[in-house]
Every structure is written in structure tokens, then in C-alpha cells.
């Protein structure tokens, strides 16, 4: 074998042209095989079944040479056997499309690809109406807004605004999405909306202080029913009702829809039904929505809807509309370098990102991080990119628990959450992302037991280390923050040395969810904790409870201990 290789080497030294020709032919043949796998896989007529190969399992899609390829993903197989081709391959099949059967067939990428057909083909769901002026002080569209500096698309913005019942969706600066029921600005030149969308280069997403605005057509009628309006409860009429709820209208044929519709049109976040009068306003010190009354006091039938309650002159039935309360939405970096470093410390999965969202709204200043998470930065946490010692942010997120790291901070807010909930939240984040979920296989496989064995002790040592080495520690329980946000947020803001007016804190209550809230619709149908796990975790809970009480603090909430 060695002699043969030596002869070949000598031959190609004498004939280098032949060597390079053979090499080129080899590479060309390999490229053709590679491209063939990426574009077409195994050619077959749509819907025609194929017997699995000898090394395939029953019903598994054939991958062929694509198993060797890293450059192209295997083409997905949709129900019914038809192939979904990639964006470079156009199917010649005349079969009717299955797109209408599912709201999202393939995740954000497929949604973006469907949005690339241009404005003319978007008429079914939205109609482009022009480029409009905008400014940061007085928004053109004053409803909900969100940012994504990496993956924003026209479809995603339209979809989010339509889901929340808005009439208009506007895109700005390539990455910002604004929703609203009314356009409150003048037209601008089309040439000024000149920035490509961050998530799809083929579409325009506004410009600098310029909005590309769409009127949402699909689902508009159902959205106007305001099924997503949030019920806030029954409340006694405030003393200065005309000041607390400044807009009002007499409605002899009152219904919840009509009042919510009226207040949404007037750009107010609260709709209060008072018999035959609809009142609108903001949560304020005059009307804080903190003392709910028995709902029976508001159980007076609506004139237009027999099965709805419309409150009375003395007891108002309050709904939160889809109008965003902008009194707490402005955020910026600290005007001067902070003299002290304040940690927002928590075990992973204890709600640190949510707490950051609340603090930013309550103080008007960005929060920082001991780490860097690009997904959080892209969602609007601008302090994420700053070094944690920069002094430009109001507090610093950290999960660290060593003595040296803890003593780097001058004070801390220590956020503690029920370990059973925190462990599951962190497991979901680790295997499903910030708002995703771990797959069923992860819960049933070896990953979950290993995760609990490694992370459960850390839950306890994290709290114990901060109590031991922290210089000035404010303990906040996640459950208390959810139950009594106003009071707990006041405590947190006071430690940060910021004076936040009550109206701003009340505004935060209406915007409390943020962009990183997991849907409550997808929950495990079984308890993932074994008796052995629960016995171990209960021991850690008792240790933390004793450590808190030793420092004259209230122990852990009762629901930490399983019944």
C-alpha cells in the first residue's frame, strides 16, 4: 500500500495538471450531491407513500445524503405526506395549500418567509397606508409597543397588534413595533421610511422617527369585541369621580363592549361601567384599584346585554383596555455615575428578568447585568450590554453566590422564590428559552433528575451566602411581589434611592407582565418531583426558613411547604 501511494505521489509530481483536474472534478461532484440534497431531497410525487429503507424506523422521513450535511436542514414533512420545500425551491404541486389550517406552521422563520411576498400580497391581513412622522415624546400610535433588534418582521408586528385588538400596526427603526387605534401624526415622504427590517431584509420597517403603518384587516371584527380586555373588578365610585375618570358618556344601551370601545377610542387604559354611564381614565391616587368590593354590588344587568353586568352609579365595574399606559414607559441610563453598586440577586428561575422589568418601569432607569444575554438586549433591556461596573444602571442582575462576588456589591435586593417553581422555571429556560418550555422527553429523561440533584442545593446556598456575606440585603419573596406588587415595589425602589411617584407605580401595575412571561396554557399534566426529591428540597426549605428567622426576618411563605 505504501509503495502504491509513493508511485501515485511521484506520478502527480510529474503531471500536476492532471492532479488539479481530478481534484476539481471530485469537488464539483461533491458539491452537486450536496446541493441536490439541500434543494430536493428524494424526488417523489406529493402525497405518494414510500417504503422505509432497511435502516429506517417505521414512518420516519427519508433523509438520504442530508444526514451528512450540516449546511442545509432536512425538509420538513407536513401531515399528509407532502413536502415543505425551502425558500429557494418552488413546488410545482397544484394541491391546495394547508396554510389556513394552522395559525403558525413552522415557527417564526416560516412566518417571516410567508411575509416576504410583498405589500401587495399582504392585503388579506393588513393594508399598508403610508409612512408617518413619530417622536419619542408624543407617539403616533399610543398602544402597546415592543422591540426586537434582531428578528423583527412586518408579519410579527402585525400579528402581535392584531391579537391584542388594535386597528393599526407601525414599524420604526427596523426593529420597533407600535400598536394603536388612532394615527395621531402627519404623513411623511415614503423615501423617509427607508430602513430594512432586522428579521427580513426584503421588507421596510420605517426609519428614524418614521413609522411604516398598516391597517389591520383580518380578525378586526372579532378583535373589536375586546375579548382580551382585562377584568379588574368591582370598585366603589371615587369621591372626585370627574377628576379621577375625566372622560364619560351616557349610554342608554350600555354593554361591556360599547364602554371598552369608547374608552379605547379616547385612548384611556381603564373603562368603568356605572349603570348607564361609561367612564374612562387612568389608575391614580384618586382611583388606585387596590380595594376591591364584592362583585355582587356591581351585579346590575346591562341594558343591551342580558347576561352582562354593568355596575351602578355607586359601584363601578372596571376593565383594562388594550391602550398602553405610557406614564411609566420612558427609560434611560443614569445621568451620573452611581456611587454604589446594587445587586438584584436571585437563584435562576426566581423571576429576576420580571423584577428588572418592574424596576425599569418604576424608576425610569435601565438595569444592568453581571452577564450579557443578547436575547434580553434585543427585547429592550439596553443596560444588558454595559459592563456591570459601568455605574450607568440602577441595579445589577446576578445569580452569583460566592463570597468574593457578593462583597463586590454595596447592597442588594435578594429575590427568593418557591424552589419547586424556581427549579421548573429554570429547567424550562435551559431547554426551551426565556419564554419556551422543555420538551416532554427532557422531563421524562435523565436531564430532569440530574438537574434537580445539581440545582436544588444551590437554591439554598445562594440565599444563605447572600444573607451571610451581603452588606445590606433587602429580602423580597417572589410570591409577595405577585400578590402585593405596589407595596413590594415601593420597598425595592426605596432601597435603590429613587423617589417614584405613586401614579408611576400604579402605571407599572397595569404593565406588569412584560415580554418574558410564559403562557399558562402549557403545563405539565403530572408532578415531576419524586418523593425523594421532595424530601431533599423540604430540608433545604427548612434551612433557609431558619436562616431568615435568625436575622429577624419573616420566614419563607407557607406555600413553600407542600401539604
Task: Look at the alpha carbons of 45, 49, 54, 56 in this order and tell me if their dihedral is positive or negative.
Answer: positive
Q: Does one domain contain both 211 and 241?
A: no
String of DSSP letters for 343-398 = EEEE-TTSSHHHHHHHHHHHHSB--EESS--HHHHHTT-GGGGS-TTSS-SS-EEE
Domain count, the chain: 3
pLDDT at 292 over 50: yes
Comparing 506 with 96, which gets the higher pLDDT?
Answer: 506
- pLDDT tens, residue by residue, 528-547: 999 999 999 999 999 999 99
Q: Say which residues have a Cβ less than 8 Å from residue 269's Cβ, sequence separation at least 6.
A: 282, 283, 320, 321, 323, 324, 325, 510
C-alpha cell at 523: 403545563
Span 407-417, average pLDDT: 96
Q: Does one domain contain both 237 and 210?
A: no
pTM, full prediction: 0.61
Instruction: Look up the CATH number of the domain holding residue 471.
Output: 3.40.50.300
Span 215-222, average pLDDT: 56
Last residue of a domain, one of 186, 215, 244: 215
In a domain, 549, yes or no: yes
Q: Does one domain contain both 180 and 254?
A: no
Q: Does one domain contain both 359 and 436?
A: yes
Q: Could you give the percent of the chain with pLDDT greater than 90?
A: 48
- Rounded Cα distance between 192 and 132, Å, is 9
C-alpha cell at 300: 346590575
In a domain, 351, yes or no: yes
Q: Does one domain contain both 457 and 516?
A: yes
Span 133-144, average pLDDT: 86
In a domain, 88, yes or no: no
pLDDT at 174 over 80: yes
- Rounded Cα distance between 176 and 144, Å, is 11
Any idea which residue has 406555600 for its cell?
559
Across-strand partners of 274?
277
- pLDDT tens, residue by residue, 69-112: 223 233 333 333 333 222 222 333 333 333 333 333 344 333 33
| Low-confidence winner among 108-112, 302-306, 450-454, 457-461 (lowest mean pLDDT) | 108-112
Q: Does one domain contain both 425 and 556?
A: yes
Q: Is 351 left (phi over 0), alpha (psi -120 to 50) or beta?
A: left
Q: What is the pLDDT of residue 30?
A: 66
Comparing 433 with 313, which gets the higher pLDDT?
Answer: 313
Q: Does one domain contain both 363 and 250?
A: no
Q: What is the pLDDT of residue 9?
A: 67
Q: Does one domain contain both 306 and 349?
A: no
- Rounded Cα distance between 170 and 180, Å, is 8
Last residue of a domain, one of 215, 244, 273: 215
Q: Does one domain contain both 189 and 232?
A: no
Q: Does one domain contain both 439 and 477?
A: yes
In a domain, 133, yes or no: yes
- Rounded Cα distance between 277 and 254, Å, is 8
Last residue of a domain, one of 290, 320, 350: 320
Span 46-71, average pLDDT: 32
How sure is the predictor about 512, in pLDDT bands with cuts at 50, 70 and 90?
confident
Q: Are strands 277-281 and 247-250 parallel, antiparallel or unpaired?
A: antiparallel
Q: Does one domain contain both 531 and 426?
A: yes
- The helix/strand/coil state of 227 is coil
Span 354-358, average pLDDT: 94
How sure is the predictor about 121, in pLDDT bands with cuts at 50, 70 and 90?
very low
In a domain, 122, yes or no: no
Q: What is the pLDDT of residue 301?
A: 86
Q: Does one domain contain both 395 and 491?
A: yes
Residue 258, domain extent: 225-320
Q: What is the pLDDT of residue 205?
A: 95
In a domain, 94, yes or no: no
In a domain, 120, yes or no: no
- The helix/strand/coil state of 155 is helix
In a domain, 455, yes or no: yes
- The helix/strand/coil state of 129 is strand
Amino acid at each position: 500500500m505504501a509503495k502504491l501511494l509513493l508511485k501515485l505521489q511521484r506520478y502527480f509530481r510529474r503531471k500536476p495538471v492532471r492532479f488539479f483536474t481530478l481534484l476539481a472534478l471530485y469537488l464539483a461532484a461533491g458539491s452537486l450531491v450536496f446541493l441536490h440534497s439541500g434543494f430536493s431531497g428524494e424526488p417523489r410525487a406529493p402525497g405518494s407513500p414510500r417504503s422505509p429503507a432497511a435502516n429506517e424506523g417505521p414512518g420516519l422521513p427519508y433523509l438520504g445524503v442530508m444526514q451528512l450535511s450540516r449546511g442545509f436542514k432536512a425538509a420538513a414533512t407536513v401531515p399528509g405526506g407532502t413536502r415543505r420545500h425551502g425558500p429557494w425551491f418552488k413546488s410545482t404541486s397544484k394541491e391546495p395549500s394547508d396554510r389556513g389550517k394552522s395559525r403558525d406552521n413552522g415557527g417564526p422563520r416560516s412566518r417571516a418567509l410567508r411575509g416576504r411576498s410583498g405589500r401587495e400580497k399582504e392585503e388579506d391581513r393588513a393594508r399598508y397606508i403610508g409612512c408617518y412622522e413619530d417622536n419619542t415624546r408624543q407617539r403616533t400610535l399610543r398602544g402597546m409597543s415592543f422591540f426586537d433588534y434582531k428578528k423583527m418582521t412586518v408579519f410579527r408586528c402585525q400579528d402581535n397588534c392584531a391579537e391584542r385588538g388594535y386597528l393599526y400596526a407601525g414599524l420604526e427603526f427596523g426593529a420597533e413595533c407600535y400598536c394603536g387605534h388612532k394615527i395621531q401624526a402627519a404623513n411623511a415622504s415614503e423615501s423617509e421610511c427607508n430602513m430594512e427590517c432586522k428579521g427580513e431584509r426584503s421588507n421596510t420597517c420605517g426609519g428614524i422617527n418614521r413609522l411604516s403603518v398598516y391597517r389591520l384587516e383580518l380578525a378586526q371584527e372579532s378583535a373589536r369585541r375586546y375579548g382580551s380586555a382585562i377584568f379588574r373588578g368591582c370598585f366603589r365610585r371615587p369621591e372626585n369621580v370627574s377628576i379621577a375618570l375625566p372622560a364619560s358618556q351616557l349610554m342608554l344601551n350600555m354593554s361591556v363592549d360599547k364602554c371598552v370601545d369608547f374608552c379605547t377610542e379616547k385612548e384611556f387604559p381603564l373603562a368603568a361601567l356605572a349603570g348607564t354611564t361609561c367612564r374612562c381614565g387612568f389608575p391614580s391616587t384618586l382611583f388606585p384599584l387596590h380595594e376591591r368590593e364584592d362583585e355582587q354590588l356591581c351585579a346590575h344587568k346591562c341594558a343591551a346585554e342580558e347576561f352582562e353586568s354593568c355596575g351602578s352609579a355607586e359601584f363601578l365595574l372596571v376593565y383594562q383596555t388594550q391602550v398602553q399606559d405610557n406614564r411609566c414607559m420612558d427609560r434611560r441610563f443614569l445621568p451620573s455615575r452611581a456611587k454604589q453598586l446594587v445587586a438584584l440577586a436571585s437563584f435562576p428561575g426566581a423571576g429576576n428578568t420580571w423584577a428588572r422589568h418592574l424596576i425599569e418601569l418604576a424608576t425610569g432607569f435601565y438595569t444592568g447585568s453581571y452577564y450579557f444575554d443578547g436575547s434580553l438586549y434585543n427585547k429592550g433591556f439596553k443596560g444588558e450590554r454595559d459592563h456591570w461596573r459601568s455605574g450607568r444602571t440602577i441595579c445589577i442582575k446576578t445569580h452569583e453566590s460566592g463570597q468574593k462576588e457578593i462583597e463586590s456589591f454595596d447592597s442588594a435586593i435578594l429575590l427568593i422564590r418557591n424552589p419547586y417553581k424556581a427549579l421548573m422555571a429554570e429547567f424550562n429556560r435551559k431547554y426551551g428559552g426565556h419564554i419556551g418550555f422543555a420538551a416532554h422527553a427532557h422531563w421524562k429523561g435523565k436531564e430532569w433528575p440530574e438537574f434537580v440533584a445539581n440545582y436544588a442545593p444551590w437554591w439554598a446556598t445562594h440565599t444563605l451566602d447572600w444573607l451571610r456575606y451581603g452588606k445590606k440585603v433587602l429580602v423580597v419573596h417572589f410570591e409577595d411581589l405577585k400578590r402585593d406588587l405596589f407595596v413590594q415595589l415601593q420597598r425595592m425602589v426605596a432601597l435603590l434611592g429613587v423617589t417614584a411617584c405613586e401614579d408611576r407605580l400604579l402605571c407599572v401595575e397595569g404593565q406588569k407582565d412584560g415580554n418574558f412571561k410564559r403562557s399558562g396554557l402549557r403545563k405539565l399534566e403530572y408532578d415531576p418531583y419524586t418523593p425523594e426529591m421532595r424530601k431533599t428540597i423540604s430540608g433545604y426549605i427548612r434551612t433557609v426558613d431558619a436562616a431568615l428567622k435568625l436575622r429577624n426576618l419573616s420566614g419563607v411563605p407557607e406555600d413553600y411547604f407542600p401539604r
